[in-house]
């Protein structure tokens, strides 16, 4: 795996997150998690967490795929769609100059997750916020236009409802 790799994991696909991995896990709302192995971890009371192996058998997608990685091609200073599902869309903004984003056609909030660098987010007449690597910013649905002003190079995930 390399920085910037994307893996879209639909429901039913068994997966685990290894040590030393920093990731953004974007998912649809769900109250169900089937834990089939837990690496010996304990809960807050020191007990091993419950496994759900029987329940998981009915939900697992047992099909083997030739490639699990999501391929995309980033374009500097333009939005790049990375994942499109019925539940959410995720794009990448790879910027090294100011870019205006119009969100007029969306009927959704936008979640920005900064994965590299730093930028200023300008909105309205005088609004300015900063976003840095590791930060998440929620843009409300009624904010229809912003200008991203990168300080050097910045990469951000842009997540919203379709």
Give the distance, in angstroms, between the CA of residue 142 and the centroid of all CA atoms in the same chain: 21
Q: Which of 13, 35, 49, 132 is catalytic?
A: 35
pLDDT tens-digit readout, 19-52: 888 788 888 777 788 889 988 889 899 999 889 9
Which segments within 17-144 are labelled E, that is strand?
79-84, 89-95, 99-102, 110-116, 118-123, 127-132, 136-139
Is 49 one of the catalytic residues? no
Euclidean distance between CA atoms 8 and 61, whole angstroms: 14
Please tell me the predicted confidence (pLDDT) of residue 133.
94
Indicate if the pLDDT at residue 145 is higher than 90: yes
CATH superfamily of 79-160: Jelly Rolls (2.60.120.10)
Q: How far apart are CA 86 and CA 161, in angstroms?
A: 8
Residue ranges per structural domain of the chain:
1-71, 79-160
For residue 95, is pLDDT > 90? yes
């Amino acid at each position: 795996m390399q920085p910037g790799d994307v893996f879209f994991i639909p429901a039913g696909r068994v997966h685990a997150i290894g040590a030393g991995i920093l990731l953004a896990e974007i998912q649809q709302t769900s109250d169900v998690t089937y834990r089939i192995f837990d690496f010996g971890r304990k809960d807050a009371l020191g007990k091993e967490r419950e496994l759900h192996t029987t329940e998981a058998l009915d939900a697992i997608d047992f099909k083997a795929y030739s490639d699990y990685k999501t391929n995309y091609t980033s374009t500097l200073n333009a939005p790049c769609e990375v994942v499109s599902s019925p539940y959410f869309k995720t794009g990448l903004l790879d910027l090294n100059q100011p870019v205006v984003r119009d969100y007029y056609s969306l009927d959704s909030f936008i979640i920005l997750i900064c994965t590299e660098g730093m930028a200023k987010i300008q909105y309205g007449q005088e609004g300015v916020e900063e976003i840095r690597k590791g930060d998440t910013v929620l843009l409300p649905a009624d904010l229809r236009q912003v200008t991203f002003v990168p300080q050097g190079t910045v990469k951000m995930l842009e997540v919203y409802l379709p």
